[in-house]
Amino acid sequence: MNWEIFISALFLGGISSFHCIGMCGPIAFSLPIHHLYAPEKIAGILLYNTGRIVSYTILGTIFGLVGRAIYMGGFEQWFSISLGSVILIIVLQSILTKKIIHLNFLNKFNKAIQLFIGTYIRERNIWGMFLIGMANGFLPCGMVYFAIAGALATSSLSGGILFMASYGLGTIPLMALLSYFGFLISLPVRNKMRSIVPYFLACMAVLLILRGLNLGIPYLSPQLVNNSSKVISCH
């Protein structure tokens, strides 16, 4: 196991869960499990969170492959700078509460997913918790986009899968407690937790930009290898 990928993704998932409390909290609150006995309630919460991790792992598979293609093409440097810049724009957009980037197709996709989730919430079937979790994992979410950026940065299929699965694991503790105990965390507290997230993400964006600048600083901006100049030999 690549412990660096695992720990960084787990940490990102833990930070993201503060954002999730505000954005995905209503879904966690609405899970039809509060009428169940404790063992069934815990099983429902585990199924829901397992579904989310499965979705994140699928995304990790896709974007791990994309990241590998970018790495092999020798575009890692400019991609890291571009990605960091886009993240900074999105963070600025969230702070200013003003739309700088408009993605209408994501709004339509978001509504379709929410309708799907609503259907299974109304059915009150414990096994439907897994499908609700999977659907939740595919909801358009800024924090998931940042996790995808991390999966891309691993430049490998295995790294992408490990990063997204670990990210999902990192979100579980707080989200599981939220689902089990319901509305014990007040709205002002949830909003305060969410307000911390943009500053962490801004730091992440700056690190990506520094990494792409190829300054030769160990750990912070290491020298990147240009893979496009490598000659592949069959002998």
CA angle 162, 165, 169 (to 5 degrees): 130
Burial label for 45, CB within 10 Å (0-12, 13-18, 19+), is: buried
Average pLDDT of the residues of the chain: 79
- Please state, in angstroms and as integers, the Cα–Cα distance from residue 228 to each residue in 98, 184, 206, 215, following that order: 39, 54, 25, 19
Instruction: Tokens for 92, please give them.
Output: 């600025």
- Side-chain half-sphere of 22: how many Cα atoms within 13 Å? 18
Instruction: Tokens for 27, please give them.
Output: 């879904």
What pLDDT shows up at residue 184?
A: 54
Q: Which of the four pLDDT bands, split at 50, 70 and 90, describes residue 228?
A: very low
Instruction: Tokens for 14, please give them.
Output: 């833990």
pLDDT, tens digit, for every residue of 95-136? 676 655 555 666 788 888 889 988 888 887 888 899 999 999
Query: Which position has the higher pLDDT, 99 or 188?
Result: 188
Question: Which bin fits 152, alpha (ψ -120 to 50), beta or left (φ > 0)?
Answer: alpha
Give the contacts of 235 (CB within 8 A, at least 6 positions apart): none
Residue 54 CA to residue 133 CA, distance in Å, equals 9
The one-letter amino acid at 97: T
Contact present, 160 and 61 (Cβ < 8 Å): yes
pLDDT, tens digit, for every residue of 9-32? 898 888 887 777 666 667 777 787
- Side-chain half-sphere of 224: how many Cα atoms within 13 Å? 27
Contact present, 121 and 132 (Cβ < 8 Å): yes
What pLDDT shows up at residue 106?
A: 67
Residue 36 CA to residue 30 CA, distance in Å, equals 13
pTM, 2 dp: 0.78
Q: Which of the four pLDDT bands, split at 50, 70 and 90, describes residue 46?
A: very high
Q: Which of the four pLDDT bands, split at 50, 70 and 90, describes residue 230?
A: very low
What percent of the chain stands above pLDDT 70? Answer: 77
* Average pLDDT of the residues in 159-184: 83
Alpha helices per DSSP H over 38-75: 38-72
